Amino acid sequence: MGIDIDESLLARARQLGTPANVEFRVQDILALNGEERFDVVWMHHVLEHIEDVPAVLSAVARVSSRLLIEVPDIEQSWTQFLLRDLGGDYFSDATHVREYDRSLLREHLHGAGWKIESLRQVSGVLQVVARR
């Protein structure tokens, strides 16, 4: 199942030729109540757009004990890294509310009770496998 609050993004996902057994739903992740369970939740470039990350990670824990995350890695962009250190506008996307490095991602996951099994830096992104 794919969940997003933006129908236009779900429409694009449907056009990618997804398998017939994949459902897409317009829904706020905070509305997940635990009635449905999932083997894994995959959050691909989501957390950097979310104001209340602890609430989102807690909502995910209600529906799955396994989490895959990918976020942009600020430390892989020397210009962003430099602009941040100089106090300038360093966000890579105007819709981001934060940029992640390893430390902040660990802090958010551990703070929400997730245990990191794997954390990798790959091609400008951080990839995490976590369990509850």
pLDDT in tens, 20-77: 888 899 999 899 888 889 999 999 999 999 999 999 999 999 999 999 999 999 877 7
pLDDT digits (tens, 9 = 90+) for 2-20: 889 999 989 998 888 788 8
Delineate the domains of the chain, giving CATH numbers in brackets: 1-31 (no CATH), 34-131 (3.40.50.150)
Q: Give the Cα separation of 58 and 24 in Å (integer).
A: 21
Q: In 1-132, which ranges are E strands?
A: 2-4, 24-26, 41-44, 66-72, 115-122, 125-131
pTM of the model: 0.83
Instruction: Give 117's pLDDT tier (boundaries 50, 70, 90).
Output: very high
How many other CB atoms sit within 10 Å of the CB of residue 35?
7
